[in-house]
Structure 1
Amino acid sequence: MRNITKLVAGAGLAAGSLLTLTVGATAAQASEAPVTKAAGMTVAGGTYQGCPYGAVCIYPQDKGWNNGQPSNVYWAYGAHKLYNQVGNHFVFNNQSGGAGVWLCKGSGGTDCPSYLGAYVYTNYNLTPINSVNLTR
């Protein structure tokens, strides 16, 4: 199972709260996921941890948020090759609405086992990942 954390507003939560969901968890496990306030996050739609609104950001290996300094920032829809990204990295989708990002094994945005919706981040092992594919 993998934890995915989503920045949320509404649903009875304060703007900028974090909702952590465990992929592969039962409904009971998911409902018990911790909810915490993200430091410095006031509303969805702004820069968060150095990731500009509308972008997808990858942070350096094993550095968490790296003091708000992402190593990779992607703005354009479509597939983008990854180079020298191994081990665990925070990946944050700071796009809006229905815009998502696929983490793909193929270098051209194919064979994509993981998807992150808008305002979602995860700590992900990028060793088998060779591209990210930003979608609407």
Structure 2
Amino acid sequence: MRKIAMTAAGLSLMVGAGLAMAPSAQAATACPSGAFCIRETNGTILSKNIFYSYGAHNLSNVTGYRVLVNSQTGGAGFQLCYGYNGTNCSEVDRVTGEFDPYDMTPINSVVLVP
């Protein structure tokens, strides 16, 4: 697994080992090109969990294990943050594709970076 060091707290977040594109029993909703998405446990993506603009995005009712999908283009990345408004965040991850399920319960915001 790839480790993302927490910049503010010296903690680490464990994110999936990369582009785990294994087939599943049910078809998952695709994340649109240019977006960062958080999938629901049933494989769907709610419109409130599709992010296009750079900057901090506060999360609401995103708990449990979710699949993160980075479909941003041009090398854009993301950070997962324990605090709201993009505080106490991981290092920037620029890998594109789907990540292994990650426990989003302690995460309160995501930041998209160019």
TM-score by length of structure 1 reads 0.60
Give the Cα–Cα distance (whole angstroms) in 2 for the partners of residues 82 and 58 of structure 1. 10
- 1:99 aligned partner: 76
Residue 115 (structure 1) shift: 4.1
Q: Structure 1 residue runs of 4+, over 3 Å off? A: 36-39
The correspondence for 2:40, drawn from 60, 75, 91, is 60
Alignment-mate amino acid for residue 60 of structure 1: E
Give the Cα–Cα distance (whole angstroms) in 1 for the partners of residues 91 and 108 of structure 2. 12
Q: Structure 1 residues 89, 118: closer, same or farther in 2, change over 3 A?
A: same
Residue 120 (structure 1) shift: 3.3
**Contact 1:101 1:134 survives alignment (8 Å):** yes
- 2:60 aligned partner: 83
Give the Cα–Cα distance (whole angstroms) in 2 for the partners of residues 79 and 114 of structure 1. 14
User: Where in structure 2 are the equivalents of 1:1-136 lying within 5 Å?
Assistant: 1=1, 2=14, 3-6=16-19, 49-61=29-41, 63=42, 66=43, 69-71=44-46, 72-113=49-90, 115-122=92-99, 123-136=101-114
Find the structure with the greater CA-based Rg. 1
Looking at both structures, which has the greater relative contact order when contacts are Cα pairs under 8 Å and sequence separation is at least 6?
2
Residue 50 (structure 1) shift: 1.8
Give the Cα–Cα distance (whole angstroms) in 1 for the partners of residues 18 and 52 of structure 2. 21
Residue 38 (structure 1) shift: 7.1
Unaligned runs of 5+ residues in structure 2 are: 2-13
Deviation per CA, 1:68-125: give whole Å up to 9, x if none: x312100100000000111100011100132001010110111113643141322211
TM-score by length of structure 2 reads 0.71
Q: How many residues align?
A: 95
Q: CA RMSD in A?
A: 2.4
Deviation per CA, 1:46-86: give whole Å up to 9, x if none: xx94211000011113x3xx1xx312100100000000111
Which one has the bigger strand percentage? Answer: 1
